[in-house]
Chains A and B, each alone.
Chain A
Amino acid sequence: MLLLLLASVIFYSFSGIFGLLILGALTVFNYYTGIWIEKSENKNFPLSIAVILNIAVLFLFKFYNFFFTEVNSLFSIFEISISFPMLQLIMPVGISYFILQAIGYNVDIQREMQSPERNFLVFANYFLFFPKALQGPVDRPRLLMPQFYEQKDFDYSRITSGLRLVAWGLFKKLVIADRLGIFVNEVYGNLHDYSGPLLLLAGFFYTFQLYADFSGYMDMALGVATILGFSMFRNFNKPFGATSVTDFWKRWHISLSTWLYEYVFNPVSLYKRNWVYGGWYLLFSLLFY
């Protein structure tokens, strides 16, 4: 387990020590908030601290510059001489996925659907597990965490099936997505030089490029996890076989849409369920799910 953690730490360190330190600090923070939530009488207070701080870190790295560029330009229109400084921060790799999972972990403890993990090695291994670092899936701690306690023996068939998944993912990414990308980039880069049918074809190809790229990466991530003896959340389930738009979203980036359903839509909609027949409720539902 120490070796696995070391592998994850090395993986993250490729994108800089700063990012690794931020993720390390977040790991320690969430380790203690989980225990704090379980011990508290009023679980909502420590949960609020955990959620607000995690979101604040995400905001700082992902949205701060975007948000304050807009605010600054708004101020300049009204000739207000306040200007927020821009930050030169390098975003830690996988921070969005990390934070979504951390929020889910803390909420699950508050809902008593999961006990806080007291073995720090298991906890850190889960949150820094390198196969899901770059593109997810947004796994649920209650599903993946217990697998770190299982004995992992050498299993020929498991390893070959993992390798097959990696090879299939590579094929989707390098052969399908990147080949379609050549055509799509050419057309999208010179829109005025091409006529209707080619534009339509580029749009069509782009859909498949996006799918092959993302699901190819996912197959590689699941394949590496399988080789190591872990099974992760399946993120795609033949999305183009969907029979309706609702069905499509149940098959595309499943780990994120179910995360939004479990931790955003469900609690708010059920808490405010008496608004169900009002327009606000419908608007809210459409926004989130």
Chain B
Amino acid sequence: MNHIEILNQINTIFRRVFENDSLHIQMETSADDVDEWDSLNHTVMIVEVEKHFNIKFKLKEVLSFQNVGDMVNIIHSKVTSA
């Protein structure tokens, strides 16, 4: 699975979690760009992404996310090493 495929799958999760069907996320998208992305939805999104890719983020990894791209990179490294 490459970065683009991961990004597309995350986009579907984001639309569901943030209840916004017109959402188009990019690697540079961050919480500041999405109105519905608050602290509670952030945690819901992390849980949904973990369930979807069947992975588990470390606390330090989640805290290091500055944008969607950071998360995609970590998902990619976890999925390919699994």
The yes or no answer to B44 lying at the interface (CB within 8 A) is: yes
Cα separation A246 to B40 with both chains bound (whole Å): 11
The yes or no answer to B63 lying at the interface (CB within 8 A) is: yes
Contact present for A270 and B39 (CB under 8 Å): no
Nearest B residue to A261, CB-CB: B39
Q: Which of B39, B44, B62 gathers the greatest number of chain A CB atoms within 10 Å?
A: B39
The yes or no answer to A289 lying at the interface (CB within 8 A) is: yes
Contact present for A270 and B43 (CB under 8 Å): yes
The yes or no answer to B59 lying at the interface (CB within 8 A) is: yes
Given contact pairs A113-B63, A274-B47, enumerate 5 new A-B contacts (beta carbons under 8 Å).
A261-B39, A270-B43, A270-B62, A273-B46, A285-B39
Provide the A262-273 mask, 1 if CB < 8 A to any CB of B, else 0.
000111011101
Provide the A257-289 mask, 1 if CB < 8 A to any CB of B, else 0.
000010001110111011010000010010001
The yes or no answer to A118 lying at the interface (CB within 8 A) is: no
A-B contacts, 26 listed (Cβ < 8 Å): A111-B60, A112-B60, A113-B63, A246-B38, A261-B39, A266-B39, A267-B59, A267-B63, A269-B39, A269-B43, A270-B43, A270-B46, A270-B59, A270-B62, A270-B63, A271-B59, A273-B43, A273-B46, A273-B47, A274-B47, A276-B43, A276-B47, A282-B40, A285-B39, A285-B40, A289-B40
Per the 8 Å Cβ criterion, residues 31-82 of B in contact with A are 38-40, 43-44, 46-47, 59-60, 62-63
CB distance from A89 to the nearest CB of B (A): 36
Interface footprint category on B: 10 to 19
Q: A-B contact count, CB below 8 Å?
A: 31
> How many residues of chain A have a CB within 8 Å of chain B?
17
List residues of B whose CB falls within 8 A of some A CB. Answer: 38-40, 43-44, 46-47, 59-60, 62-63
CB distance from A56 to the nearest CB of B (A): 25
Per the 8 Å Cβ criterion, residues 95-114 of A in contact with B are 111-113
Chain A residues closer than 8 Å to B39, beta-carbon distance: 261, 265-266, 269, 285, 289
Chain B residues closer than 8 Å to A271, beta-carbon distance: 59
List residues of A whose CB falls within 8 A of some B CB. Answer: 111-113, 246, 261, 265-267, 269-271, 273-274, 276, 282, 285, 289
Chain A residues closer than 8 Å to B40, beta-carbon distance: 282, 285, 289
Chain A residues closer than 8 Å to B38, beta-carbon distance: 246
Chain A residues closer than 8 Å to B46, beta-carbon distance: 270, 273
Cα separation A276 to B39 with both chains bound (whole Å): 12
Cα separation A271 to B60 with both chains bound (whole Å): 11
Chain B residues closer than 8 Å to A276, beta-carbon distance: 43-44, 47
Cα separation A101 to B24 with both chains bound (whole Å): 38
Cα separation A289 to B38 with both chains bound (whole Å): 10
Q: Which of B43, B60, B62 gathers the greatest number of chain A CB atoms within 10 Å?
A: B43
